[in-house]
Amino acid sequence: MNTEVLSVKNIKKSFKNGEDRSEVLRGVSFSVLDGEFISISGPSGCGKSTLLNLMGLLDTPDSGEYFVDGLLVTNMSASQRAKIRGNRIGFVFQSFNLIDEMTILENVALPLKYRGDSLSSRHARALDCLDKVGLADKAHLFPNQVSGGQQQRVSIARALAGDSGIMLVDEPTGNLDSKNGDAIMQLILDLNRQGTTIVLVTHDPRYANMASRTIHLKDGLVVTPSEEAQDASEAA
Ligand SMILES: Nc1ncnc2c1ncn2[C@@H]1O[C@H](COP(=O)(O)OP(=O)(O)O)[C@@H](O)[C@H]1O
Ligand SMILES: [Mg+2]
C-alpha cells in the first residue's frame, strides 16, 4: 500500500504560442502511492490535462523526471513507453474518445489487441469489464446508440480492460449532467475501493473531495495544502 507507483519530479512543460512560449508546468513534483485516490484540481487552463497527459505517457515533458513503478520513463524510447502505458495505465478522457465505427465490445477490447491476446480472450475480458460498469447488455451496440453517461462507462471499462491497476481520469463528468456525473464518480470510488489507484482531474470541488488526497495546481506549480490549510480554505 505504501509503494510509490507514480512519481513526478520537477516536471516542466511549455507550449509554443505564436512567437512566445508559455510555460504551463513550471516544476511540478508529487507522488502517488499504490491504491491511493488522488484528485488534481485548479482553474481551467492551469495545466491539469497537460500534467495528466504526461503522466499517461501521451506526451513528454521538456525537463524533469517521471517514474512509473520506480522506473525512470522519461529516458525511455517511445516504444518502451508505449509498452509501459499498455501494461500499467488506463486513461479516461472527458470526451470519451470512443471509436464510433466499432461496437462497444470492440472499443473495450481494443487496447488488448496490442498485447497479443487472442480475439476470444479479448472479447471475454471486455465483456467482463462491461459487466463491472453495468453495461454487459449493451456490448453489441455502437457508442452513438447509448447515452453520454453510458459512453463514459464504456471508456472506463476500456481503461479497466488492460488490468493496469492505475487509472488516470480527466474531467470524467465534464460532459455529463449531474445525475450521470454522480453515478460515474460512484463507479470510480468503487473501483478505488477494489484496489485501483486513481488520479482524477476535476475542477468540481465536490468530486475532488471524494479523493483521499487533493493536489492543487496553481500558476504551473503544485500546492499541496496540509490538512489544516485545506480545512481552513474549505471553511472560508
Ligand atoms: N498542445 C498544446 N499546444 C499549445 N498550447 C497548449 C497545448 N495543450 C495545452 N495548451 C495550453 O496550455 C494551457 C493549459 O492547458 P490544459 O492543460 O488543457 O489546462 P486544464 O486542463 O487545466 O484546463 C492552456 O493555456 C492551453 O491553451
Ligand atoms: Mg483539461
Cα gap 39→47, rounded to integer Å: 14
Query: How do the pLDDT tens digits run along the chain, 236 residues long?
Result: 589 999 999 999 999 988 899 999 999 999 999 999 999 999 889 999 999 999 999 999 999 999 999 999 999 999 999 999 999 999 999 999 999 999 999 999 998 887 788 999 999 999 999 999 999 999 999 999 999 999 999 999 999 998 899 999 999 999 889 999 999 999 999 999 999 999 999 988 899 999 999 999 998 999 866 544 555 555 55
Q: Rounded to whole angstroms, how far apart are CA atoms 18 and 61?
A: 20
Mutate to test the pocket of ligand 1, among 49, 60, 200 (most ligand atoms within 8 A of CB): 49
Which residue do the cell numbers 460532459 mark? 175
What is the maximum span of the chain, computed from C-alpha positions, in angstroms? 55
| Distance in angstroms (rounded) separating the CA atoms of residues 224 and 40 | 10
Q: Quickly list DSSP for 75-115.
A: TS-HHHHHHHHHHH-EEE-TT----TTS-HHHHHHHHHHTT
Residues in the chain: 236
Could you tell me if 98 and 107 are in contact, meaning their C-beta atoms sit under 8 angstroms apart? yes
- Eight-state DSSP code of residue 123: H
Q: Is 218 in the pocket of ligand 1 (CB under 6 A)?
A: no
What domains lie within the chain, and their CATH numbers? 4-235 (3.40.50.300)
In a 3-state reduction of DSSP, which class is residue 213?
strand
Cell 465505427 -> residue: 101
- Ligand 1 centroid distance, CA of 43 (Å): 12
For a mutational test of ligand 1's pocket, the pick from 19, 24, 201, 202, i.e. the residue with the most ligand atoms closer than 8 A to its C-beta, is 24
Whole-number Å distance, alpha carbon 219 to ligand 2 midpoint, is 15
- Neighbour-count burial of 123, counting CB atoms closer than 10 A to its CB (0-12 exposed, 13-18 middle, 19+ buried): middle
Whole-angstrom distance, CA of residue 190 vs CA of residue 167: 13
The 8 Å CB, 24+ separation contacts for 71-78 are: none
Q: Cα(129)–Cα(123) distance, rounded to whole angstroms?
A: 10
The residue whose CA is least distant from atom 2 of ligand 1 is 15
Q: Decide: pTM greater than 0.75.
A: yes
